[in-house]
Every structure is written in structure tokens, then in C-alpha cells.
């Protein structure tokens, strides 16, 4: 009922088209302003009802989107942790990923940073309770123990660091900052990192 059907008897490309159309529409107009008809049109389906071959209902489309995005993020973070040893390097790589996503896949970042997901997926756990975000908090905790990060409440460090990062990206997404995210990245990273770093050794 609430999930993606397990055996879509049809083209998996169509499923992707539906998900992509839904992502675009949800971020542009909002979940409640988007009808299944809208999704079918943007996905270039002949018929609205085709959607029901792939998803039980509109809600299931949003759930799948949400899970796909968070799963990918979680996998990327695992990868980053494997490739980098220090908290500083790991956070630096995560910031790198988020800025890249903002330029290359703004809808995904819009979904994560701007949409009020609880409004249409009330049964899903909050973003900061998802594996991806728990892993980020753990990186911060590790950084505090290793002495890289100042000894403050990890949640506060998290709030400060990603306050700077995410707010900058939000302003790129909504056009208040008019250049590509990429052009703000190095400066923004420095600012965010220096807030929580033990010494401002980066300057």
C-alpha cells in the first residue's frame, strides 16, 4: 500500500521517469499542489493510471523518493569515511558533496533543505534521525574526542557548522546568492570549520 511495488511488470525506466517528475514537481510546486496528473504529464506518460503500475499511490512515490535520497546520501558518507581519516577531512568531503549536489542536482538539495517533509510524510522519522545524519553527528563526536573540534555539545557544533553550510546553500537554491554554489565553497567551508575547530589553524 505504502510502498513501491516489488515486481513492476514494466520498464524500470518509467519508474525513474515518474520519480524524477515527482521530485521536480514536489520541489517546484510542493507536494500538495502536485496532482498525479501533473506527474504523468511531466513524466510523459500517455495515461495517469500507468503510475499505479509502479506505485500504490501518491504517498508511496514520495516515500520512495525520500528513501532513495537518504540511502544514497548514507552510502556516500560511508564512502567518505572510508577514504578520509580525520574529522576535518571527512567533514570537508561532505561539504564538497553538498556543494556539488547543489550545482548538479539542485532538486535533491531542495528536497533535503527546503521541503517540509513531515508535512506530507508524517510517519517518516525526522531527517536528523536518519542514518546519514546520525553518521555526521558521530563524525563530529569523534572530532571532539580526538581534539580536532572544540569541546562543546555535539548537537550545537552540528547546528553551527551546518547552519553556515546549509543556509548558504539555501540562498544559492533560492537565488538570493546569485552565483553557483561552487564559487562560495572554499570560503564557506573555512567559516564553518573555524567555528567548531579547536584552533583556527586553517588561517
Partner DNA sequence: GTCTATACGCCGATAGAC
Partner DNA sequence: GTCTATCGGCGTATAGAC
Binding site for DNA (CB under 7 A): 8-10, 34-37, 45-50, 52-53, 57-59
Return the residue of 77, 95, 140, 164 that touches a second copy, per CB under 8 A: 164
Number of alpha helices (DSSP H) and beta strands (DSSP E) in the chain: 9, 0
Please, what is the minimum distance in Å from the beta carbon of residue 93 to a second copy?
20
> Please, what sign has the CA dihedral across residues 11, 17, 22, 23?
positive
Long-range pairs of 151-156 with CB within 8 A, sequence gap ≥ 24: 152/196
The stretch near a second copy (CB under 8 A) out of 6-14, 24-32, 36-44, 140-148 is 24-32
Q: Name residue 4's beta-bridge partners.
A: 55
Backbone Cα Rg of the chain? 19
76 binds, options DNA, a second copy, none, Cβ within 5 to 8 A by partner type: none
Of 3, 10, 33, 201, the residue at the interface with a second copy (CB under 8 A) is 33
Residue 180 contacts residue 103 (beta carbons within 8 Å) = yes
Record the cell numbers describing residue 41, joined without a space: 504529464
8 A C-beta contact, residue 19 and residue 71: no
User: Could you tell me the smallest distance in angstroms from the CB atom of residue 8 to a second copy?
Assistant: 29
Near a second copy by CB under 8 A: residue from 70, 94, 108, 165: 165
Q: Which residues bind a second copy (CB under 8 A)?
A: 29-30, 32-33, 114-116, 119-120, 126, 128, 152-153, 155-156, 159-160, 162-168, 170-171, 174, 176-177, 184, 187-188, 191, 194-195
Amino acid at each position: 500500500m505504502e510502498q513501491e511495488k516489488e515486481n513492476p511488470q514494466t520498464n524500470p525506466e518509467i519508474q525513474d521517469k515518474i520519480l524524477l517528475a515527482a521530485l521536480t514537481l514536489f520541489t517546484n510546486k510542493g507536494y500538495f499542489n502536485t496532482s498525479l496528473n501533473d506527474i504523468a504529464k511531466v513524466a510523459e506518460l500517455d495515461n495517469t493510471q500507468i503510475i499505479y503500475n509502479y506505485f500504490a499511490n501518491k504517498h508511496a512515490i514520495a516515500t520512495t523518493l525520500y528513501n532513495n535520497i537518504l540511502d544514497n546520501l548514507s552510502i556516500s558518507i560511508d564512502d567518505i569515511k572510508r577514504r578520509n581519516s580525520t574529522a576535518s577531512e571527512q567533514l570537508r568531503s561532505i561539504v564538497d558533496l553538498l556543494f556539488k549536489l547543489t550545482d548538479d542536482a539542485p532538486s535533491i538539495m531542495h528536497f533535503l533543505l527546503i521541503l517540509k517533509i513531515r508535512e506530507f510524510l508524517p510517519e517518516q522519522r525526522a531527517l536528523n534521525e536518519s542514518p546519514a545524519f546520525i553518521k555526521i553527528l558521530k563524525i563530529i563526536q569523534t572530532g571532539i574526542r580526538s581534539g580536532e573540534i572544540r569541546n562543546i555539545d555535539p548537537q550545537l557544533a552540528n547546528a553551527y557548522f551546518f547552519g553556515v553550510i546549509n543556509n548558504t546553500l539555501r540562498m544559492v537554491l533560492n537565488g538570493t546568492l546569485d552565483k553557483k554554489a561552487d564559487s562560495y565553497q572554499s570560503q564557506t567551508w573555512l567559516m564553518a570549520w573555524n567555528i567548531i575547530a579547536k584552533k583556527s589553524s586553517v588561517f
